[in-house]
Protein backbone atom coordinates (compact mmCIF):
# COMPACT_ATOMS: atom_id res chain seq x y z
CA UNK A 1 0.00 0.00 0.00
CA UNK A 2 1.25 3.39 -0.90
CA UNK A 3 0.37 4.80 2.51
CA UNK A 4 2.41 2.34 4.53
CA UNK A 5 5.40 2.73 2.26
CA UNK A 6 5.15 6.47 2.67
CA UNK A 7 4.90 6.16 6.42
CA UNK A 8 7.97 4.00 6.73
CA UNK A 9 9.95 6.32 4.51
CA UNK A 10 8.80 9.31 6.51
CA UNK A 11 9.77 7.59 9.73
CA UNK A 12 13.21 6.96 8.32
CA UNK A 13 13.54 10.59 7.26
CA UNK A 14 12.37 11.68 10.69
CA UNK A 15 14.97 9.51 12.37
CA UNK A 16 17.76 10.84 10.20
CA UNK A 17 16.64 14.44 10.79
CA UNK A 18 16.73 13.93 14.55
CA UNK A 19 20.16 12.36 14.41
CA UNK A 20 21.45 15.10 12.13
CA UNK A 21 20.27 17.75 14.54
CA UNK A 22 21.95 15.91 17.37
CA UNK A 23 25.20 15.83 15.43
CA UNK A 24 25.02 19.51 14.54
CA UNK A 25 24.69 20.45 18.21
CA UNK A 26 28.06 18.83 18.75
CA UNK A 27 29.74 20.97 16.09
CA UNK A 28 32.26 23.44 17.40
CA UNK A 29 32.40 21.83 20.82
CA UNK A 30 34.96 19.50 22.30
CA UNK A 31 33.24 16.49 20.81
CA UNK A 32 33.94 17.90 17.39
CA UNK A 33 36.46 16.02 15.33
CA UNK A 34 37.20 14.81 11.84
CA UNK A 35 34.95 11.88 12.53
CA UNK A 36 32.09 14.14 13.40
CA UNK A 37 32.45 16.02 10.15
CA UNK A 38 32.42 12.80 8.25
CA UNK A 39 29.39 11.60 10.16
CA UNK A 40 27.64 14.85 9.33
CA UNK A 41 28.41 14.43 5.68
CA UNK A 42 27.16 10.88 5.52
CA UNK A 43 24.01 11.63 7.49
CA UNK A 44 23.31 14.58 5.31
CA UNK A 45 23.62 12.59 2.13
CA UNK A 46 21.36 9.91 3.50
CA UNK A 47 18.83 12.55 4.51
CA UNK A 48 18.83 13.99 1.04
CA UNK A 49 18.36 10.60 -0.58
CA UNK A 50 15.41 9.93 1.67
CA UNK A 51 14.04 13.38 1.01
CA UNK A 52 14.11 12.93 -2.73
CA UNK A 53 12.54 9.49 -2.48
CA UNK A 54 9.81 10.82 -0.20
CA UNK A 55 9.13 13.74 -2.43
CA UNK A 56 8.72 11.71 -5.59
CA UNK A 57 6.45 9.25 -3.86
CA UNK A 58 4.27 11.87 -2.22
CA UNK A 59 3.99 14.09 -5.28
CA UNK A 60 2.99 11.07 -7.35
CA UNK A 61 0.34 10.18 -4.81
CA UNK A 62 -0.97 13.72 -4.49
CA UNK A 63 -1.12 14.31 -8.22
CA UNK A 64 -3.34 11.28 -8.59
CA UNK A 65 -6.84 12.70 -8.93
CA UNK A 66 -8.62 9.44 -8.51
CA UNK A 67 -8.12 8.99 -4.79
CA UNK A 68 -10.80 9.27 -2.17
CA UNK A 69 -11.19 12.28 0.09
CA UNK A 70 -9.98 10.46 3.19
CA UNK A 71 -6.95 9.21 1.36
CA UNK A 72 -6.21 12.67 0.13
CA UNK A 73 -6.50 14.10 3.63
CA UNK A 74 -4.10 11.44 4.84
CA UNK A 75 -1.61 12.21 2.08
CA UNK A 76 -1.83 15.88 2.85
CA UNK A 77 -1.02 15.14 6.45
CA UNK A 78 2.00 13.12 5.37
CA UNK A 79 2.99 15.95 3.09
CA UNK A 80 2.93 18.41 6.00
CA UNK A 81 5.11 16.02 8.01
CA UNK A 82 7.51 15.86 5.11
CA UNK A 83 7.75 19.62 4.69
CA UNK A 84 8.30 20.18 8.40
CA UNK A 85 11.08 17.65 8.32
CA UNK A 86 12.65 19.40 5.38
CA UNK A 87 12.41 22.74 7.15
CA UNK A 88 14.36 21.41 10.10
CA UNK A 89 16.91 19.81 7.81
CA UNK A 90 17.39 22.99 5.86
CA UNK A 91 17.96 25.12 8.96
CA UNK A 92 20.35 22.57 10.40
CA UNK A 93 22.31 22.40 7.19
CA UNK A 94 22.67 26.16 7.04
CA UNK A 95 23.73 26.31 10.65
CA UNK A 96 26.23 23.53 10.22
CA UNK A 97 27.75 25.48 7.33
CA UNK A 98 28.02 28.57 9.49
CA UNK A 99 29.47 26.81 12.50
CA UNK A 100 31.72 24.65 10.34
CA UNK A 101 33.20 27.76 8.80
CA UNK A 102 33.71 29.38 12.19
CA UNK A 103 35.43 26.36 13.72
CA UNK A 104 37.94 24.89 11.28
CA UNK A 105 39.79 21.82 12.43
CA UNK A 106 43.03 22.02 10.57
CA UNK A 107 44.42 25.07 12.32
CA UNK A 108 47.48 25.05 14.59
CA UNK A 109 45.47 26.03 17.69
CA UNK A 110 41.96 24.76 17.75
CA UNK A 111 39.55 26.91 19.68
CA UNK A 112 36.76 24.46 20.18
CA UNK A 113 34.30 25.43 22.87
CA UNK A 114 34.78 23.38 25.98
CA UNK A 115 31.22 22.40 26.66
CA UNK A 116 31.77 19.38 28.84
CA UNK A 117 30.86 16.89 26.14
CA UNK A 118 33.74 14.56 25.57
CA UNK A 119 32.15 11.41 24.23
CA UNK A 120 31.93 10.52 20.59
CA UNK A 121 28.86 10.63 18.43
CA UNK A 122 29.53 7.39 16.57
CA UNK A 123 26.51 5.62 17.97
CA UNK A 124 24.19 8.40 16.94
CA UNK A 125 25.56 8.39 13.43
CA UNK A 126 25.31 4.61 13.30
CA UNK A 127 21.67 4.91 14.25
CA UNK A 128 21.12 7.45 11.52
CA UNK A 129 22.77 5.30 8.88
CA UNK A 130 21.13 2.16 10.23
CA UNK A 131 24.43 0.34 10.47
CA UNK A 132 26.10 -1.40 13.34
CA UNK A 133 29.44 0.39 13.20
CA UNK A 134 30.52 3.44 11.37
CA UNK A 135 33.47 3.23 9.03
CA UNK A 136 35.60 6.31 8.66
CA UNK A 137 37.44 6.65 5.41
CA UNK A 138 37.63 10.34 4.73
CA UNK A 139 40.69 12.47 4.10
CA UNK A 140 42.26 14.74 6.61
CA UNK A 141 40.94 17.92 5.06
CA UNK A 142 37.35 16.89 5.14
CA UNK A 143 36.26 19.97 6.98
CA UNK A 144 37.10 22.39 4.20
CA UNK A 145 36.17 20.13 1.29
CA UNK A 146 32.92 19.20 2.87
CA UNK A 147 31.90 22.80 3.36
CA UNK A 148 31.98 23.48 -0.31
CA UNK A 149 29.86 20.47 -1.00
CA UNK A 150 27.56 21.59 1.75
CA UNK A 151 26.97 24.92 0.08
CA UNK A 152 25.93 23.27 -3.15
CA UNK A 153 23.70 20.88 -1.28
CA UNK A 154 22.01 23.71 0.54
CA UNK A 155 21.31 25.40 -2.76
CA UNK A 156 19.83 22.14 -4.05
CA UNK A 157 17.61 21.76 -1.04
CA UNK A 158 16.42 25.35 -1.36
CA UNK A 159 15.55 24.75 -4.96
CA UNK A 160 13.75 21.54 -4.15
CA UNK A 161 11.65 23.24 -1.52
CA UNK A 162 10.69 26.01 -3.87
CA UNK A 163 9.65 23.51 -6.50
CA UNK A 164 7.64 21.66 -3.91
CA UNK A 165 5.80 24.80 -2.93
CA UNK A 166 5.01 25.59 -6.53
CA UNK A 167 3.95 22.18 -7.72
CA UNK A 168 2.03 20.77 -4.83
CA UNK A 169 -0.98 22.72 -3.67
CA UNK A 170 -1.48 21.65 -0.11
CA UNK A 171 -2.73 24.08 2.49
CA UNK A 172 -0.88 23.15 5.67
CA UNK A 173 -3.30 24.88 7.99
CA UNK A 174 -6.13 22.75 6.72
CA UNK A 175 -4.46 19.59 7.92
CA UNK A 176 -5.58 18.22 11.24
CA UNK A 177 -3.11 16.34 13.31
CA UNK A 178 -4.05 12.89 14.50
CA UNK A 179 -2.38 13.23 17.87
CA UNK A 180 -3.82 15.35 20.62
CA UNK A 181 -1.85 17.28 23.18
CA UNK A 182 0.02 14.98 25.47
CA UNK A 183 -0.05 12.11 22.99
CA UNK A 184 3.64 11.52 23.45
CA UNK A 185 3.04 10.39 27.01
CA UNK A 186 0.86 7.47 26.01
CA UNK A 187 3.46 6.08 23.66
CA UNK A 188 6.22 3.52 23.98
CA UNK A 189 7.02 3.26 27.65
CA UNK A 190 10.63 2.40 26.94
CA UNK A 191 11.44 5.96 25.94
CA UNK A 192 10.05 7.31 29.17
CA UNK A 193 11.66 4.93 31.63
CA UNK A 194 15.21 4.83 30.47
CA UNK A 195 15.60 8.58 30.18
CA UNK A 196 14.12 9.16 33.60
CA UNK A 197 17.15 7.36 34.89
CA UNK A 198 19.31 10.39 34.21
CA UNK A 199 19.99 12.45 37.27
CA UNK A 200 18.43 15.78 36.50
CA UNK A 201 20.94 18.04 38.13
CA UNK A 202 19.67 20.75 35.88
CA UNK A 203 16.70 21.28 38.18
CA UNK A 204 16.89 23.31 41.33
CA UNK A 205 16.05 20.46 43.61
CA UNK A 206 18.37 17.73 42.46
CA UNK A 207 16.13 14.78 41.94
CA UNK A 208 18.10 11.81 42.95
CA UNK A 209 15.00 9.78 43.58
CA UNK A 210 15.33 7.38 40.72
CA UNK A 211 19.00 6.89 41.17
CA UNK A 212 18.32 6.54 44.86
CA UNK A 213 15.61 4.01 44.17
CA UNK A 214 17.92 1.93 42.11
CA UNK A 215 20.47 2.18 44.87
CA UNK A 216 18.11 1.05 47.58
CA UNK A 217 16.90 -1.78 45.39
CA UNK A 218 20.47 -2.93 44.97
CA UNK A 219 21.13 -2.69 48.68
CA UNK A 220 17.95 -4.55 49.43
CA UNK A 221 18.81 -7.28 46.96
CA UNK A 222 22.27 -7.48 48.45
CA UNK A 223 20.88 -7.82 51.95
CA UNK A 224 18.53 -10.58 50.91
CA UNK A 225 21.32 -12.39 49.07
CA UNK A 226 23.66 -12.27 52.04
CA UNK A 227 20.83 -13.35 54.32
CA UNK A 228 20.11 -16.34 52.12
CA UNK A 229 23.80 -17.20 52.02
CA UNK A 230 24.02 -16.99 55.78
CA UNK A 231 21.01 -19.22 56.26
CA UNK A 232 22.40 -21.71 53.76
CA UNK A 233 25.74 -21.66 55.50
CA UNK A 234 24.17 -22.14 58.93
CA UNK A 235 21.98 -24.99 57.70
CA UNK A 236 24.93 -26.65 56.00
CA UNK A 237 27.01 -26.31 59.15
CA UNK A 238 24.23 -27.80 61.21
CA UNK A 239 23.74 -30.63 58.73
CA UNK A 240 27.43 -31.39 58.72
CA UNK A 241 27.74 -31.23 62.47
CA UNK A 242 24.62 -33.18 63.26
Partner 1 sequence: MTINTLSQDGVQRQQMPCLTKMERMIISMQDPDMGIKLRNQRLLITVIPHAMTGADIVEWLIKKLTISDEAAHIGQFLVKYGYIYPLKEPRNLILKADESAYRFQTPYYWMSTRWPASELDYAIYLAKKNIRKQGELIEYEKECYNALHKRINHTWDFVVMQAREQLRASKQRRKADRIVLECQEQAFWLVNRPPPGTLDIMNYGPERRTMNTRVQLNAEFYKKEIEHNRMSLARNRVKSSICLESYVKYCEQYQPHDPIMQGCLPSNPWITDDVLFWNMNSEAVTVPTKLRVERWSFSFTELLDDPMGRKEFLIYLEKEFSAENLCFWQACEDVRHGESSKIPEKVDEVYKQFLAPGASRWVNIDSKTMEKTLEGLKRPHRFVLDDAQMHIYFLMKKDSFPRYLKSDLYKSLLARAIVPQETKKSVFPFMRRQRHSSPSPALVTHTTEDDGKAKNSNSVKSNSGTASRL
Within 140-199, the residues that bind partner 1 by CB under 8 A are 161, 165, 168-185, 187-188, 191-192, 194-196, 198-199
Nearer to partner 1, 155 or 230 (CB): 155
Residue count at the site for partner 1 (CB under 8 A)? Answer: 83
The helix/strand/coil state of 139 is coil
Measured from the Cβ of residue 97, the count of other Cβ atoms closer than 10 Å reads: 17
Nearer to partner 1, 61 or 242 (CB): 61
Strand partners, 113: 29
What share of residues in the chain are helix, strand, coil (percent, to 5)? 70, 0, 30
Instruction: Quote the least distance from Cβ 3 to partner 1, whole Å.
Output: 14
Of 103 and 136, CB closest to partner 1 = 103
Of all helices (H) and strands (E), which one includes residue 157?
A: helix 142-167
CB-based burial of residue 155 (10 Å sphere; 0-12 exposed, 13-18 middle, 19+ buried)?
Answer: exposed
Site pattern 116..135 for partner 1 (x: CB under 8 A):
xxxx-x-xx-xxx-------
Rounded to the nearest whole angstrom, what is the least distance from the CB of residue 180 to partner 1 in the complex? 8
**Which of 2, 25, 53, 59 touches partner 1 (CB under 8 A)?**
25
Radius of gyration of the chain (CA): 26
Q: Is 18 in the site for partner 1 (CB under 8 A)?
A: yes
- Hey, is 36 helix, strand or coil? helix
Site string for partner 1, 64-103 (x = CB under 8 A): -------------x--xx-xxx-xx--x--xx--xx--xx
The reply on whether position 208 binds partner 1 by CB under 8 A is yes
Query: Could you please report the per-residue DSSP string of 162-181?
Result: HHHHHH----GGG---SS-T
Query: Is residue 28 at the binding interface for partner 1, with CB under 8 A as the rule?
Result: yes
128: closest CA among 6, 12, 28, 9? 12
Tell me: does residue 115 bind partner 1 (CB under 8 A): yes
Amino acid sequence: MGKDECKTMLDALNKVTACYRHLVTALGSTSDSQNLREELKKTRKKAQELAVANRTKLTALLKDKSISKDDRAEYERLWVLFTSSMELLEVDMKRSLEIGQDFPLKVPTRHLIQTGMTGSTTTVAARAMSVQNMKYEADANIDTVDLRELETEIAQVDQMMEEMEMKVQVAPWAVEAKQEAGAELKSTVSVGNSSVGVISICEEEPKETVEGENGTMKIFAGIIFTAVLLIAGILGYLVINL
